[in-house]
Every structure is written in structure tokens, then in C-alpha cells.
Amino acid sequence: MHNALVGVCMITYNHQSYVGQAIESIMSQITNFDFELVIGEDHSTDNTRAICEKYAQLYPGKIRLLNSDRNYGMGGNFTRTLNECSSYKYVAICEGDDFWTDNNKLQKQVDFLENNPEFVICFSDIHIVDELNSANAFLPAITKDVFTIEDIILSNMNIMPTPTLLFRNVLPESLPEFLKTALSGDLIIQLLLTDKGKAKYIDEKLAAYRNHAGGVTKSKEHLEKGEIARLNTYHNINEYFNYKYDAVFKKRFLSMARESLIYYSRDKKGTEKLKHYFKHFPKYLKYSDKINVKEILYYHAILFFPLVLKPFKK
């Protein structure tokens, strides 16, 4: 549908238990404009492809299913699907295991961006659900409703839940190559967008993120690998921006170095802990503007003499 105002970018892989609900939540949107759902189905090994084909036949002209003769991987599939949304004025994102919970989501967000040209992206609060759609709280309380690129860089959490995003299509014509291999493609998109304008938080739960057994593991080992990948993403995008936000990124690098040094050492013992220390302590020093002796002594106490600090914690 070439005259559609909004393109909804959906990537999906082995989501046969969830993708139907995701598609239906988008097709249920009530709007005074046309929108189209673009599905990047990544050569699933279950019935996901057949389910998507069924819905594409059910909604001709409203759903465009991309051909997949191979598995592109999450980053590659996201890039190719997002590229297929280049003709729309606005783009929304909903992955195949998430879904929208408000039939007026698109209308509310488009109305806001239409009336507020200084904003390039808007997002909302979110539900988190399990396989049985049981809801739980997700985000910590957000205390403001306007965010800049500095907020995104410095935040220790993903401020913008991906299924709630709607943004102006002001992305570069050629997306960065590192997006294809990034674990945090949504973070890259948020930074590319907030380089061009502000982000608006809508204090409503407009979508749901699904936390399920087939999703990303939350083990400490995986989280540590995720932090390394996120750090690489920050370095890549800092270079992409020609270091114009370098001072802000350095604050983020220092915060991540502290976290890596302390948090990811807790389960390590003996020589394993020493290896961890010699790997991460130089990174902490690298991003520190000046040497804070008290802070260094404190971190060493946490790492090697935690019992000394126990009385003070109490």
C-alpha cells in the first residue's frame, strides 16, 4: 500500500505460538489513515511462515510478507525489513512475539508527532507478559516525558520499549553496516533518531513485551556478553557520529567499566577473579578523567575483601 502513512516493521522467527496475536493486534488498530504491516519472516523452522502467509491472504493490501530464502539473523532481518519501510512517513515496530494492547496506539502516536514537529519519536509504558499472557510490571517509574540523545546514551536501561516505538522516517538512506550484526539494533535506531530531534514518553501502556522461554536468556554470562556487545555498539555509533557526542559516550563507557569490574566479578573466585580484574580495571582507568583514590580503594575492597565492608552495609 504505497499511499500508507505508517509502515509497521515486524521481524519474526520461530514465533508460531505468538505471531498471530502480534499481527491481529496491528490489524485491530483504529485509524483515520492507512497503514501497512511489513513482515520480515526469517526462514523459520516451525509454522511461523505459514501463519504469516495466512494473514497476508486474509488482509490483502494491508500486509506485505517479505520473501526469505535463507536465515538472515536478527540484525540482518531487522535491517532488510526496516529498509522496506523507507517509503512511509512514519514507522512503528512490533516484533513477532510482542503485541499491542491499545487499538488506538497508532492514532495517538501519529497525532502527537503530527502536532509536534520538534519530536522525531514517541514511545510509551509497556506490559510484560509470559507465555500465558499473564501481565507483570516492566519499567521502573519514568519521571519525565521528554528525552534527548544524551538521556539515551547515559541510561542504564532501555528507556524506550521497542514494541511501543513510532518514529518519523528520518533515518539515513543507507543504514550503518554494523546494524546487521548488532544485538541491540533498537538502540542504534533510537540513537540515530534522537540525533535529529527529541523523544516523547506517553504515560500509557500501549503494548506488551513477551518474556518467554524461547526469548533471550537473562543469565549473568549472557548479560556480560550483552554488555560487551552494547559497548561495541556505542563505540561504533560514536565513530559514526564523528565523535560529536564523545564526552557523553565517555561517561557511559566509565559507567559500564565500573559495572563490568564489580558486578561481573561477584561469582568469580581465585585466579578467575584475578583475570577478570586485570582485564577490566585498565578500562576503568582509561575512562576516568582523574584518579579517585577513595573510589579505587572501595572497588578493591568490594572485589577482594567484601567481608570488610559487610558491617558498613548494615
Give CA–CA dist 75/186, Å, rounded: 10
> 165 Cβ partners below 8 Å, 6+ apart?
92, 93, 121, 122, 123, 186, 189, 190
Q: Which domain holds residue 111?
A: 6-210
Same-domain pairing of 95 and 140:
yes
Burial class (CB in 10 A: 0-12, 13-18, 19+), 60: exposed
Same structural domain, 12 and 151: yes
Lowest mean pLDDT across 57-71, 74-88, 94-108, 226-240: 226-240
Let me know if residue 281 belongs to a domain. yes
- Claim to verify: residue 201 and residue 224 sit in the same structural domain: no
162 and 268 within one domain: no
* Residue 206 located in a structural domain: yes
Give the percent of the chain with pLDDT over 90. 63
- Residues 203-233 pLDDT 10s: 999 999 987 555 444 555 656 677 778 888 9
User: Is 248 among the domain residues?
Assistant: yes
Q: Does residue 290 share a domain with residue 196?
A: no
The whole-number average pLDDT for the span 104-128 is 97
What is the per-residue pLDDT for 7? 98
HSE (side-chain half, CA atoms, 13 Å) at 295: 12
DSSP structure string for 42-68: ---SSSHHHHHHHHHHHSTTTEEEEP-
The model's pTM is 0.85
What percent of the chain stands above pLDDT 70? 80
Residues 22 and 111 in one domain: yes
Same domain, residue pair 150 and 84: yes
Q: How far apart are CA 176 and CA 159, in angstroms?
A: 22
Domain end position, chosen among 183, 210, 237: 210
Task: Tell me, yes or no, whether 226 and 288 share the same domain.
Answer: yes
In a domain, 1, yes or no: no
Count how many domains the chain has.
2
CATH number of 158's domain: 3.90.550.10
- Give the end of a domain, one of 173, 189, 210: 210
Whether 215 is covered by a domain: the verdict is: no
Domain termination residue (choose one: 154, 189, 210): 210
pLDDT for residue 256: 85
Residues 291, 183 within the same domain: no
Average pLDDT, the chain: 86
> Is 224 found in the same domain as 203?
no
Which residues are 20's β-sheet partners? none
